[in-house]
Amino acid sequence: MESVDNELEFLNALVDGIAAQFGDQCEVVLHDLRKPYESTIVAIRNGHITGRKVGDPGTNLGLEILRGTTQNDHRFNYITQTKDGRLLRSTSIYIKNGQQKTIGALCINFDITNLVVAEKTLQSLTTSNMQPEVNESFVSNVNDLLDAIVQETQDIIGKPVAIMTKEDKMKFIQLLDQKGAFLIKKAGDKICGYLNISKYTLYNYLEEVKSTENGN
């Protein structure tokens, strides 16, 4: 497959079929990852599950795939959580072209919240073969996605910006880079403001980080 557009009729039918098979608690999303990341969703069914619609962005996991941080592209049967606390059992399948470049994704998010709190006889259905919980951010605009990535990184660093050393800020920037944050348009401006550094300093830190990663 060379582009999502070329196979859109088939992919839309696939999205419809999965959604019809599993009902209104199953969100099915098709992303065209050649588009700007703030508007990768080209088809979605049961968007009420995560509150998204056509024209909305992908999640942080997609950024990591595009950035090359994650080596194993597909993710099957993992658990994540929406902003309002509902539990999802999810699968993300990435579509590649003939050059093995990721060009799209088909994602399935099944809301298992009611199943998890149901009687014990349903536990085998909701917990069998589940993978460890994955932190995935479902948002309706790319700025919220960047905010979620920054907050997750802040939690990892564990220090307020006011008392961060240069090394802390470099680590912060390294983690953001690995999570694909800089693939988001104008992310640099927001991150400079958050860390209270200039763009010149940001670019210097990024160069130092990449030089260290490359063993130079």
Query: What is the arithmetic mean of pLDDT over 144-158?
Result: 90
> Could you tell me which residues come within 8 angstroms of residue 9 by beta carbon, excluding any fewer than 6 positions away?
none
What gap in Å lies between CA 120 and CA 111, rounded to an integer?
18
**Nearest to residue 210, comparing CAs of 160, 173, 162, 184?**
173
Q: In a 3-state reduction of DSSP, which class is residue 110?
A: strand
**Nearest to residue 30, comparing CAs of 1, 54, 60, 6?**
54
Structure tokens at 203: 């670019």
The domains located in the chain, with CATH, are 5-136 (3.30.450.20), 145-213 (no CATH)
What gap in Å lies between CA 211 and CA 7, rounded to an integer?
40
What percent of the chain shows pLDDT beyond 70?
Answer: 90
Structure tokens at 148: 């979620």
pLDDT of 37-58, one tens digit each?
999 999 999 999 999 999 999 9
**Choice between 159 and 117, residue whose per-residue pLDDT is larger:** 159
Query: What is the arithmetic mean of pLDDT over 111-131?
Result: 65
- Whether the pLDDT of residue 116 is over 90: the answer is no
Instruction: Tell if the pTM clears 0.75, that is, is over it.
Output: no
Beta bridge pairs of residue 105: 31, 94
Arithmetic mean of pLDDT over the chain:
88
